[in-house]
Chain A
């Protein structure tokens, strides 16, 4: 109804904008098709042995095969559950620790070097320790996932909390606000965008953690399929599991992006 009031020039402009974005969409999809097509072609013409590089059709066949005997859902379910649990624990614990460090400047200064060291430590180095402590079950993988995500979560949230506008803090202080009031009314709401960006980073971290965990220990999950496929030289299996992993990671990221739209109105 409002559109009718636009000038022809503006309508033309809108049309151009729409056309441009449609063009980008088509190209985007085209790139994928092109890559898959070339891949399929190389395999079909035996330019490279498909045993080594697999091919899109072989991957599709493998996924169908896994789906038909139900093992696909078992492995996807295992990995998804481990990833989500580790992600949730890392986010909740990381945010809580960041809150505590915001609250106590002394604690922050005391713990800072430890956090920096833990952040740069490659977590995979703790593999043997994790096996000894947690055995070879799901708990070891969840622990690895938490380990990979928690430091990043803590550091990002702390940075968000500390970047609260000093003048707004002064304003609340002049109203006689207590520290917890400053925290609840100002620091937490103003760190919401940091929380969302931390979630996005942690999605990636959680997948790294769970797959890494499954590489070290495990008898199920997508990481297990990849390792197993590699050991028995079934590249179709490796590629199929990787492909599913891509879709799951993208889906989880999309969920966080959706949450962002719902939560951050302003």
Chain B
């Protein structure tokens, strides 16, 4: 699909600014943001808290139109009902009154793709990534890690090409976070998705991303872009590698400018 964009970036921000308007006043959340993401790339966006990282995802997903500048996905303005996005939030947001299986089918129902083929594809994914025995369970019967995994399978169910991950591990305890992070990384790689991860956790960014984008304090600007060059090394191995701490130090400094 979309072969003609093979060489072009999948996502492009050019000179994007965004101003929020509320009764209390206006806030410039992002200013002159420019960056691009290539097909199959795993990008991490880090920045000080409250700098407008989530805003970047919202604009990418077409939930928020930019005040000026252009956001282009496959060369076109993003459309939130388009099929190529999968959005994953901080908490799993599984619906407690639905079983895991019904939760996974949710995007199919919303996108009117609730066909037997799509359902069996989604179930195959769940089976492949260890949710097979839990399909008839309700979310509150699952551990935090399993819930987040179910949320990822739900995100993947409708076959999105671009995953937007908004601090998807931050609600988990440290131990679970590391292992779920590993799982999610493996799943995204093996499904060959393009992913944009927003996080305030520097080590998380280094452990999963091909490139790291550093944003400044509000209004958000891109202050640095780093190609990490870990290749396909899995997160836990990256954390053990010697480059890890030097990247950490560099990014730490850049965040605190």
What distance in Å separates the Cβ of B86 from its nearest Cβ neighbour in chain A? Answer: 8
Distance between Cα atoms of A62 and B63 in the complex (Å) = 69
**Main secondary structure on A side of the interface with B:** helix
> Which of these binds chain A: B11-19, B31-39, B93-101, B218-226?
B93-101
* Chain B interface SS verdict (over half): loop
A266 contacts B97, C-beta separation under 8 Å: yes
A to B contact number (C-beta, < 8 Å): 51
A132 within 8 A of B: no
C-alpha spacing A172/B94, complex, angstroms: 11
A174 near B85 (CB under 8 angstroms)?
yes
A25 within 8 A of B: no
| A170, B91: Cα distance in complex, Å | 12
User: CB-defined interface of B136-150 with A at 8 Å, one 1/0 digit per residue?
Assistant: 001010000000000
Q: Would B93 and A176 count as touching, CB distance under 8 A?
A: no
Closest to A171 in B: B93
Are A175 and B110 CB-contacts (below 8 A) given A167-B89, A266-B138? yes
**A189 / chain B contacts, CB cutoff of 8 Å:** 95, 97
Q: Is A266's CB under 8 angstroms from B96's CB? A: yes
CB distance from B210 to the nearest CB of A (A): 23
Distance (whole angstroms) from the CB of A11 to the closest CB of chain B = 27
Q: A174-B80, A176-B81 are in contact. Are A185 and B97 (CB under 8 A)?
A: no
Q: Which residue of A lies closest to B96 (CB)?
A: A266
Most chain B CB atoms below 10 A, which of A168, A175, A176, A189: A175
The docked-state distance in angstroms from the alpha carbon of A185 to that of B95 is 10
Further 9 A-B residue pairs, CB within 8 A, beyond A175-B110, A176-B111: A167-B89, A170-B87, A171-B93, A174-B85, A175-B106, A176-B81, A189-B95, A265-B97, A266-B138
Binding site for A on B (CB under 8 A): 61, 63, 79-82, 85, 87, 89-91, 93, 95-97, 106-107, 109-111, 138, 140, 158, 164
Interface residues of A (CB under 8 A from B): 165, 167-168, 170-177, 181, 185-186, 189-190, 192, 265-266
